[in-house]
Structure 1
Amino acid sequence: MHGDSNDANHYRLRCSVCGQRRADDGLALGCGAEHGPGLLRTEYRQAGLRPDPEQSGVFRYRHWLPVRRTLPGAGGSAVFRSERLAGSLGLRELWIAFNGYWPERGGDLETGSFKELEAATVLGRLPEGAGPLVVTSAGNTAIAFAELCARHRVPVVLVVPASVLPRLRTRTGADPHVRVVAVTGDADGGCADYADAIALGDAIAARPGFVPEGGTRNVGRRDGLGTVLLAAAEAIGGLPAVYAQAIGSGAGAIAAHEAAVRIRCRRPGPLPRLFLAQNAAFAPVHRAWRTGERSWETGCEEEQRLAADRAFAPELTNRRPPYDVRGGLCDALTESRGRLYTAAASAAKAAMDAFRELEGIDIEPPAGVALAALREAVREDRIDPAAPVLLNITGGGRARLARDHTLTELPADLRVPRSAVHQPGRVAELAQALTALLPRAAVPVG
């Protein structure tokens, strides 16, 4: 790991349930007190938003990031005011936060996704010698951690559904610090999905010597994603009235809301309304918000698998989103007076084509879902045409990236059938095999 070392004294962690405050050891994912589930939140000593002029990218906001060190060369969000897309939507002040690869616009995320923001911050928070990090992903998060962990020599185990392997392409390619575990279908023809990968990732992370990345529970992940809103507030000169994004787990939306609350503490005014979108074929958060039904509690597992398989943007198919947890999606939507939308595959594809034609760069399917939902919100007159609107393009420029650089597909080091996910003996064998595969110096002693 490179970068300027520093301590973590510029912030504290606070439990969103009991309010207990504590110092951060860089690994904490929960409160530990006996109460219902709730997310930890960060409280920073620096009162206002004061970007660090000596830093660039995500670490420009290092004083509002839970990090011990910065990573040289880390990218950030490119925020600009749209003209052509804004005109086609009938919005007078549409701001785009482009998170991807677009050199002419300042887009310097070389994995093509805003997941690179969270990876940089999680690694900046991680204490030295913590042991191999275990990250579960449906694609983009794995690419981001693979690239940054290889570059900074941090051991990581990436657990993914086998179906996403063709999309795991990076500039660095295979690296001894990065090991990929793919969850495959069973002999009976059953397919593995993101939920299977999450279950296996959790099981591996619970083994001695491994460190769970934690997903939405990791304050590093959320505050890294929250820099999208910080960069936008800096460019706009204040908070937008509406924040639009597609969601799977919803970590980015929660992060944007938390960042807005942090800014509003010093600049009174309304919070941005979260306008969030999901695939029409797979929309558990939309259903919960609109009807109160929690499909992750009441739905048929096989039906959910089939729905996820039909999704236009598979990255958005988290079957157990942090919805009811204190400080989670439901709270953020309620506090921001948010709305939920769905987008059919045809609408999302049309939105992707329109963005490429009007703005000049390709975008990823989740961003197409977000733009399609924004179009629907405008058609429904849910947005004041004169209000500042922020559209988070969570991924884009991959076609351009592939033209400019050679990308190499990451091989699966181990393949595990989903039937073995809940077998402790098989998981123990897998953990032992991974320990042998990772660099010896990176594996903790004892």
Structure 2
Amino acid sequence: MTLPFSTLTHLECARCGRRHDADRVQNLCDCGSPLLACYDLERLRASLAPADLAGREPSLWRYHELLPVRDPGNVVTLGEGMTPMVPLPRYGEAIGVPGLVMKDEGLVPTGSFKARGAAVGVARARELGARGVAMPTNGNAGAAWATYAARAGLDALIAMPVDAPAITRSECAAAGADLYLVNGLIGDAGRLVAERIKADPGTWMDAATLKEPYRIEGKKTMGLEIAEQLGWRAPDVIVYPTGGGVGLIGIHKALLELRELGWLQGPLPRLVSVQSTGCAPIVRAFERGERTSEPWQDAHTVAFGITVPKALGDFMVLDALYETKGHAVAVTDEELLADRDACAAADGALLCPEGAATLSAVRVLRERGWLSGEEEVVVLNTGAAAKYPEAFRTDPPVLELTDRIP
């Protein structure tokens, strides 16, 4: 039986389960909840095996049957995906978790994992006839979507807080995006985008986090790759820095799909959501056993990408934690910066602030006994450290030319 390029069948509401047409531009369900892409997994299971992927290109598009783009001619790519799994043996040993492994998303185009969601989201937007994409962002997502929109020949409207990393602002401008800076947080940027979309109907597809169904499909390829790179098995624990939570939701979705396909056996890995003590709505809700979070007041952290006071998909993040017997933990800025430097000194791996938060979380969870130290733990470094020069404040002494270097 010949498989189509994509086995996408329909969209389904993550909360109420209502079915939606996948072949027109869709945003939220009528109940206000995100939509998820669904696939013909029964047909796929009968016609495709993991071994069939071995000779495919080393990008996220190797999983095209599990992605929503129907026509290969609509694929938009800069070579994203198949990032390495890098052991961190010395740092892991130092904190009591010798089986520590980093999946390094800093090596994808635009320097962050956001390229995955942008590649698939922009490709599907073009396939559905959108003229442009519009979104609020904490920085990296805007840079990625602006870049991939340029690659696809679409317009991009991006709004971000004025405190977002400066390099992401420059990336958006270089890619020709219509860029707006706002005094406030990502929610304030979201209101500006909503006003622009309303003022110019028919031009922009709303690509805000989880307000369209396809960013998550790009992000889920991190979960697909982890399973494939480990020989079609799952690690014991996956630790993820959580702002909007799309990556964690996507990884969970990928693992569920792989299990239904029969490509992954046994229990799912325990998923861990990491936030900053300066913005930890998911952690607070998890500790209370709640299914949704309350907005976090006065949010602030050096890990700017996870500064999301209220995530639209918070209930999906929390469900993933509960279903996998996972956990949620908050770490301080001082901890994550110290652990970033300790890991760099021990193993030569330099993580972005958000990624470094996962190191602190592993250390804290080992200290608390939630981790025994025997587990294989995968942490996600979600971006290149070089995109955050403001997070490096230690300057070496400056020698005069007449000084003798010791």
Q: TM-score range by the shorter chain?
A: 0.7 to 0.9
Distance in 1 (alpha carbons) for counterparts of 2:314 and 2:112:
27
* Residues 1:285 and 2:282 aligned together: yes
Where 2:299 maps in the other structure, the secondary structure is: helix
Distance in 2 (alpha carbons) for counterparts of 1:67 and 1:247:
27
After TM superposition, list the pairs within 5 Å mapping 1:84-163 onto structure 2.
84-101=90-107, 109-128=108-127, 129-163=129-163
Distance in 2 (alpha carbons) for counterparts of 1:281 and 1:112:
25
Distance in 1 (alpha carbons) for counterparts of 2:313 and 2:77:
35
Partner in structure 2 of residue 73 of structure 1: 78
Distance in 1 (alpha carbons) for counterparts of 2:36 and 2:291:
23
Q: Which letter maps to 1:342?
A: A
Where 2:243 maps in the other structure, the secondary structure is: coil
How many Å apart are 1:86 and its aligned residue?
A: 2.7
Partner in structure 1 of residue 244 of structure 2: 249
Distance 1:269-1:26 versus aligned 2 partners, 3 A rule: farther
TM-align CA RMSD? 2.8
Give the TM-score, by structure 2 length. 0.82
Q: Which letter maps to 2:353?
A: P
Q: Which letter maps to 2:350?
A: D
Partner in structure 2 of residue 258 of structure 1: 253
Distance in 1 (alpha carbons) for counterparts of 2:179 and 2:114:
17
Q: Which letter maps to 2:192?
A: L
Q: Extract unaligned runs of 5+ from structure 2.
A: 390-406
Distance in 1 (alpha carbons) for counterparts of 2:6 and 2:20:
11
1:176-231 per-position Cα deviation (integer Å, ceiling 9, x unaligned): 4x1111113xxxxxxx2221011222232334122101412433211211111111
Distance 1:339-1:165 versus aligned 2 partners, 3 A rule: closer
2:27 to 26, 29, 42: 29
How many Å apart are 1:120 and its aligned residue?
A: 0.7
Q: Is the 8 A contact 1:241 1:388 kept in 2?
A: yes
Partner in structure 1 of residue 340 of structure 2: 352
After TM superposition, list the pairs within 5 Å mapping 1:34-53 onto structure 2.
35=31, 37=33, 39-45=35-41, 46-47=44-45, 51=53, 53=55
Q: Which letter maps to 1:62?
A: H
How many Å apart are 1:31 and its aligned residue?
A: 3.7
Partner in structure 2 of residue 233 of structure 1: 227
How many Å apart are 1:9 and its aligned residue?
A: 4.9
2:217 to 209, 223, 243: 223
* Residues 1:203 and 2:199 aligned together: no
After TM superposition, list the pairs within 5 Å mapping 1:383-398 onto structure 2.
383-398=371-386
Q: Is the 8 A contact 1:30 1:40 kept in 2?
A: no
Q: Which letter maps to 2:84?
A: A
How many Å apart are 1:293 and its aligned residue?
A: 7.4
Distance in 1 (alpha carbons) for counterparts of 2:355 and 2:138:
16
Moved more, 118-127 or 50-59: 50-59
Distance in 1 (alpha carbons) for counterparts of 2:364 and 2:340:
15
Q: Which letter maps to 1:159?
A: A
1:91-122 per-position Cα deviation (integer Å, ceiling 9, x unaligned): 24322210013xxxxxxx13221111111111
The higher relative CO (CA closer than 8 Å, separation ≥ 6) is in 1
How many Å apart are 1:349 and its aligned residue?
A: 0.3
Q: Is the 8 A contact 1:147 1:170 kept in 2?
A: no
1:409-431 per-position Cα deviation (integer Å, ceiling 9, x unaligned): xxxxxxxxxxxxxxxxxxxxxxx
Distance in 1 (alpha carbons) for counterparts of 2:368 and 2:14:
35
Distance 1:170-1:361 versus aligned 2 partners, 3 A rule: farther
How many Å apart are 1:88 and its aligned residue?
A: 2.4
Distance 1:244-1:344 versus aligned 2 partners, 3 A rule: same
What is the count of residue pairs matched by the alignment?
A: 370
Q: Extract unaligned runs of 5+ from structure 1.
A: 1-5, 102-108, 185-191, 402-446
Where 1:158 maps in the other structure, the secondary structure is: strand
Distance in 2 (alpha carbons) for counterparts of 1:351 and 1:74:
31
Q: Which letter maps to 1:196?
A: D
2:311 to 321, 344, 349: 321
How many Å apart are 1:335 and its aligned residue?
A: 0.8
Q: Which letter maps to 1:145?
A: W
Where 2:192 maps in the other structure, the secondary structure is: helix
Distance 1:239-1:7 versus aligned 2 partners, 3 A rule: closer
Distance in 2 (alpha carbons) for counterparts of 1:296 and 1:335:
17
Distance in 2 (alpha carbons) for counterparts of 1:264 and 1:341:
27
Where 2:39 maps in the other structure, the secondary structure is: strand
How many Å apart are 1:142 and its aligned residue?
A: 1.1
Q: Is the 8 A contact 1:286 1:342 kept in 2?
A: yes
Distance in 2 (alpha carbons) for counterparts of 1:369 and 1:291:
22
How many Å apart are 1:347 and its aligned residue?
A: 0.6
Distance in 1 (alpha carbons) for counterparts of 2:118 and 2:333:
29
Distance 1:384-1:65 versus aligned 2 partners, 3 A rule: farther
Distance in 2 (alpha carbons) for counterparts of 1:120 and 1:243:
23
Where 1:60 maps in the other structure, the secondary structure is: helix
Q: Which letter maps to 2:223?
A: L
After TM superposition, list the pairs within 5 Å mapping 1:168-187 onto structure 2.
168=168, 174-176=174-176, 178-184=177-183
1:312 to 291, 296, 302: 302
Give the TM-score, by structure 1 length. 0.75
Distance 1:296-1:397 versus aligned 2 partners, 3 A rule: closer
Q: Is the 8 A contact 2:105 2:383 kept in 1?
A: yes
